Amino acid sequence: MTQTVLVFLDRALPDGRIEDAAKPQLFATDLGATRGDGVFETLLVLDGHVRKLPAHLSRMQHSAQVLELEVPGHEAWERAIVTALDEYQRVVGPLTEVVVKLVATRGVEGVHEATCWVAASAPAPAAKRQREEGIDVLLLDRGYDSDVAERAPWLLLGAKTLSYAVNMAALRHAHAHGADDVIFTSSDGQVLEGPTSTVLLAHADTDDAGHVTLKRLVTPRLDSGILPGTSQGALFAAAKEAGWELGYGPLEPEDLFDAEAVWLISSVRLLTPVNRIDGKAVGTDPALARALTEELSALFDKIA
């Protein structure tokens, strides 16, 4: 078991309340545990710096709003994160690479107050390997059409809720079929997102001498019921600065196979190249794909 540092948000303690993660800390009647009713964010700390903190806090506030869940403001979370990282340094080790999870549940049944905590732990070793070696993914139908989010707000699409059983089942399905991850498609055939990541693809034009003359970074359209990726948003901004063209879907599976490179991107696993989709190789020019990955990774590394 990974060592976890745990800090609860607490009205009485503005810096949060440190608790022992090796002891029970949640009530069995907490609606987070009995109904998956709550929201969360997963952040990466690199060399002591919390990456994209404002974007994560904003997205959590948005998720909470979609769920009509009242959660503490940014400052309370920021202070609890500082407490958690101080404690992590004290009891676990340096803040070279730390995963910080923010969780807010609807609270204990009948109490009507969110249960909120920050958990800091080491990243899973698989992330680094997957980033370096790339991954194989399966395309899986998520059952929803790409317009349902607007039509049916009660489906909570675009909110990062604790109800992740389907995402976990999709990953199990992929592992059972020899793949590492999943790209969900909509029932009307559009590329959506990964269970815990955003899909990116790149096109590049080269001149006769093999020099890249145009680079285009594309992600599925943001209004198709997917989670707006904090990593995608930050990388898009950096890529634009660096001269990339940007594009938003709709994307179909065919577009993934026509791309020079495809990645899954997330806060913890960062930019992870997709080698094969449904067993079929992605891209036709491995050297170009590697160059694009290196360029984007370098841009992404510099993001605050």
Residues at the interface with a copy of itself (CB under 8 A): 1-2, 4, 6, 19, 21-38, 40, 67-68, 101, 103, 105-106, 108-111, 117, 119, 140-145, 148, 151-156, 161-170, 172-173, 187
CB of 121 to a copy of itself, least distance (A): 8
Quick one: 185 or 293, whose CB is closer to a copy of itself? 185
- Looking at residue 207, what DSSP letter applies? -
Quick one: 67 or 265, whose CB is closer to a copy of itself? 67
CB of 81 to a copy of itself, least distance (A): 15
CB of 90 to a copy of itself, least distance (A): 19
Q: Distance between CA 122 and CA 4 in Å, rounded?
A: 8
**Nearest to residue 225, comparing CAs of 157, 273, 275, 126?**
157
Quick one: 109 or 294, whose CB is closer to a copy of itself? 109
Quick one: 3 or 284, whose CB is closer to a copy of itself? 3
Quick one: 108 or 238, whose CB is closer to a copy of itself? 108
Collapsing DSSP to helix, strand or coil, 304 comes out as: coil
Quick one: 45 or 174, whose CB is closer to a copy of itself? 174
Q: Distance between CA 233 and CA 213 in Å, rounded?
A: 24
Collapsing DSSP to helix, strand or coil, 111 comes out as: coil
CB of 176 to a copy of itself, least distance (A): 8
What are the CA-CA distances from residue 89 to residues 85, 136, 142, 269 (Å)? 6, 35, 40, 22
Angle at 33 between CA 73 and CA 269, to 5 degrees: 65
CB of 149 to a copy of itself, least distance (A): 9
The string of DSSP codes covering 34-98 is HH--EEEEEEEEETTEETTHHHHHHHHHHHHHHTT-----HHHHHHHHHHHHHHHHHHT--SSEE
How far apart are the two ends of the chain, measured CA to CA in Å?
30
CB of 107 to a copy of itself, least distance (A): 11
